[in-house]
Amino acid sequence: MQLKFNVEDGCLIVEMHGELDHHSAEGVRIKVDNKIEELGVNKLIFDFTGVNFMDSSGIGVIIGRYKKLKDYDGKVAVVNLKPQIKKIFELSGLFKILNEYKTVQEALLSL
C-alpha cells in the first residue's frame, strides 16, 4: 500500500493507494503514527479514493488512530469509501465515532 501525506489547515491528509489488509496494515500504522508525531497534528483524514480492498484489519488501523488522537481532542474522518468498504465500516459501528465525506475539501470544512 502506498501512502501520500498532505497537510492542510493543521490537518494530516493520508491519501492511500492499494489494498488495506493485515499485511499492509502494519506499515500504514507506523507511517501514519510517525507523521502525526512529527507534525504534532490532532486532525486526520483518510482518503480512501485509491483503496480497492479493505478487510477488518483496516478497522483496527482506523480505531487505533482514532484512540490516539482522542487523547489530544482530535478527530478522524474518512473520504470516498467504496461500497464494499462501507459495508465493513457499517458492520463495525465505525460511523458512530467518525463521519464519511465525499471529498477531502468537505472533510476539511467539517473537522
By CB under 8 A, tell whether 22 contacts other proteins: yes
- Least Å distance, CB 62 to other proteins, is 9
Among 4, 91, 95, 103, binds other proteins (CB under 8 A): 91
Does 99 engage in binding with other proteins (CB under 8 A)?
Answer: no
Rank residues 9 and 26 by Cβ distance to other proteins and give the closer one.
26
Site stretch for other proteins (CB under 8 A), options 5-13, 41-49, 85-93, 102-110: 85-93
What values do phi and psi take at 105, rounded to 5? -60, -45
If one asks whether residue 97 binds other proteins (CB under 8 A), the answer comes out as: no
Residues 28-67, interacting with other proteins (CB under 8 A)? 29, 53, 55-57, 59-61, 63-64
- Per DSSP, which regions of the chain are E strands? 2-8, 11-20, 43-54, 75-79, 99-101
Contacts of 41 (CB under 8 A, 6+ apart): 7, 10, 11, 12, 74
d(CA 84, CA 25): 18
Of 43-51, 70-78, 79-87, 100-108, the segment contacting other proteins by CB under 8 A is 79-87
